[in-house]
Amino acid sequence: MSLSSNLTRLRLIYIDIVNIENRIYYTMAINLQRPSGSLSGSSRTESTFEQIPIINLQAAQAAHADHATKRALADEIRDACINVGFFYVKDHGIPEQVITNAVAAAKRFFALPQPAKDALDIHKSANFKGYTALLGENSNPANRGDLHEGFDIGWEDPTGASRADDGAMTGENVWPDGLPGFREAVLAYYHAAVNLGKSLFPLFALALDLPEDFFDDKTTKPAAIMRLLYYAPQTGEVDDRVEGIGAHTEIVSLRVPWMLITQCFTILWQDEVPALQVLNNDGKWIDAVPIPGTLVVNLGDQFARWTNDVFKSTVHRAVNRSGVERYSIPLFFGSDYDVKLEPLPSCVSDDCPPKYEVVTAGEYVKSRLEATYAHSQSEH
């Protein structure tokens, strides 16, 4: 090989090294010199998403995870929250057996005779807990109803104690008779999911350029509502006005109490039947396909208010046209009820002033519950 050829090769190698170093230095500069309030002008990228990111939480679950590891995870979460509004989590720390037991319990409940389920109708509960019948909700006013049944619970100590000062949700859960082990299996998953939700807040704080413990005193008694959901198969002629859950964000519908009220995010377990879809910026429905060993996290309206719309809630729906039954378990995770939903300091600036009136989380919950309950009462 000639000397000129060797020089050319060396020159190209040198250019590659310089480019790599420049990218490294640029990334370091962004991470180390991120200014206060830099998120206030954040917006979604021009390139619309075609898939939902998967984030591995194993490193964050370690007892002595270092700050750099958490910072890297927080950057992944921030990108997902700004550009997609959804992400999967793997290695989330909830034992598979706990999930299996809760799903088996849900199947036993929804297989009960209809009168046994109707005895626990949510409209009989002063604190919006219990059973919702098929087509009893409608996420999308353009549709005829949501093709699912639901069973809602709130916080309850395994000993049976409920929490005081839970605002509109203060009060006990209702449980079916004749299903031994049902309550224990459901509560075991509920508390495991709540613990996962609490472990995500430090990462959300870092993603928002806030101290890691920023949310600690705001989630001492978090508003965590969980639903067991059963989707009947949509067979025969397809009616586009009937979906498992109609298109919605976690904000807008006044007929589905827990998919929209005042949560920061939802933690969703879904079975192997594909149904969940997320609407991207081009108006295309992207399948949130079931991935074994993962849970789906999506943002809700409380984070939208708190972050001044830096984090956004993305339109999504569930359409079960598989011809088989489907089950899912969403847990809707919000802050303590007495927390003021003031815009976070990193999400406002002179160019991006606060967009929302400051209210407490409890006031916000109450206003949504009153509207939901009044509307659904008129149909009974």
Identify the architecture of domain 48-378 in CATH: Sandwich (2.60)
pLDDT at 251 over 60: no
At 140 the pLDDT is: 44
Cβ atoms of 83 and 49 within 8 Å: the answer is yes
- pLDDT, residue 302, reads 83
Whether the predicted pLDDT of 80 surpasses 90 = yes
Order of strands across the sheet with 148-153?
54-56, 86-90, 294-299, 265-270, 326-333, 224-231, 148-153, 130-132
Query: In this predicted model, what pLDDT tens digit does every residue of 275-285 receive, in sequence order?
Result: 899 998 888 89
- Whats the size of the chain, residue-wise? 380
Mean per-residue pLDDT, 48-69: 85
Comparison of pLDDT for 153 and 260, the residue scoring more: 153
73: left (phi over 0), alpha (psi -120 to 50) or beta: alpha
Q: What pLDDT was estimated at residue 198?
A: 94
- At residue 50 the predicted structure's pLDDT band, cuts being 50, 70 and 90, is confident
Tokens 């999967």 found at: 88
Task: Please give the residue that has the higher pLDDT: either 101 or 24.
Answer: 101
Measure the CA–CA gap between 266 and 301, rounded to whole angstroms: 11
**What does the mean pLDDT of the chain come to?**
78
CA distances for 131 relative to 37, 117, 153, 332, angstroms: 44, 6, 9, 17
CB 298 within 8 A of CB 332: no
The one-character DSSP state at 120 is T
Overall average pLDDT of the 157-180 stretch? 79
pLDDT confidence tier of residue 65, bands split at 50, 70 and 90: confident
120 or 164, greater pLDDT: 120
Per-residue pLDDT at 83 exceeds 50 = yes
Q: Is the dihedral angle over the CA atoms 89, 91, 94, 96 positive or is it negative?
A: positive
**So what's the pLDDT on residue 159?**
79
Where in the chain are the domains? 48-378
pLDDT on residue 206? 96
Q: In the structure, what pLDDT confidence band is assigned to residue 316 with cuts at 50, 70 and 90? A: confident
pLDDT at 241 over 80: no
Q: What is the mean pLDDT of residues 345-353?
A: 92
Q: Which residue has the higher pLDDT, 240 or 311?
A: 311
Band of pLDDT at residue 217, cut at 50, 70 and 90: very high
Give 291's pLDDT tier (boundaries 50, 70, 90): very high
DSSP 285: E
Strands 145-146 and 86-90: what pairing? unpaired
Instruction: Examine the pLDDT at 270 and tell me if it is beyond 70.
Output: yes
